[in-house]
Amino acid sequence: MLTLEILYAVLQGLPPDYLTFLDEIWSAFCRKIHWALQRGADRGNTHRRLEVLVKRGLAYKFYGKGGVCYLAISAPLPREARLEIHKFIREGLDFAASETATPTTPTMSQKSTTPTKPTTP
């Protein structure tokens, strides 16, 4: 999975030889960025390239704790599958956020201690 931090590192000049842990599609993508930077290409073009991959269904974009993350997909997925992936990632991120949140003390509703008179018909 290509994270925003890895993408920043590549844009700052990290050679793609250090990215062997990535899937082949992302390694090739990072090599192209590296070669383009060596030739003096525009760094702003990276965002557009990633968005095209997302629109074509070859990558999945989601927002993690550290920012935008992209997940490589080997083949385009149907819309229902993409929605399920989004739901799964969102639930995982929400669960992780709730685990790290500080617990709050529950508020107790105050009940009246005086008995009420029953009404007679």
**E strand or H helix at 50:** helix 45-55
Give domain status of residue 81, yes or no: yes
List, in sequence order, the alpha helices (H) in the chain. Answer: 4-11, 24-38, 45-55, 79-100
Give domain status of residue 19, yes or no: yes
Whether residue 47 contacts residue 53, with contact meaning beta carbons closer than 8 Å, is answered with: no
Give domain status of residue 94, yes or no: yes
* Distance from C-alpha of 103 to C-alpha of 98, rounded to nearest angstrom: 9
Give domain status of residue 43, yes or no: yes
pLDDT score at 119: 61
Q: What is the pLDDT along the chain (121 residues), one digit of tens a residue?
A: 788 888 878 877 788 888 888 888 888 888 888 888 888 766 567 778 888 888 887 888 887 777 778 887 777 878 888 888 888 888 888 888 887 765 555 555 555 555 566 566 5
**Total domain count, the chain:** 1
Whether residue 55 contacts residue 79, with contact meaning beta carbons closer than 8 Å, is answered with: no
Give domain status of residue 50, yes or no: yes
pLDDT score at 103: 57
Look up the domain containing 82 and give its range. Answer: 2-98
Give domain status of residue 119, yes or no: no
User: Residue written as tokens 């969102």?
Assistant: 90
> Are β-strands 2-3 and 59-64 bridged in parallel, bridged antiparallel, or unpaired?
unpaired
The DSSP call for residue 38 is: H
pLDDT score at 55: 85
**Strand-pair partners of 59:** 72
Give domain status of residue 78, yes or no: yes
pLDDT score at 14: 82
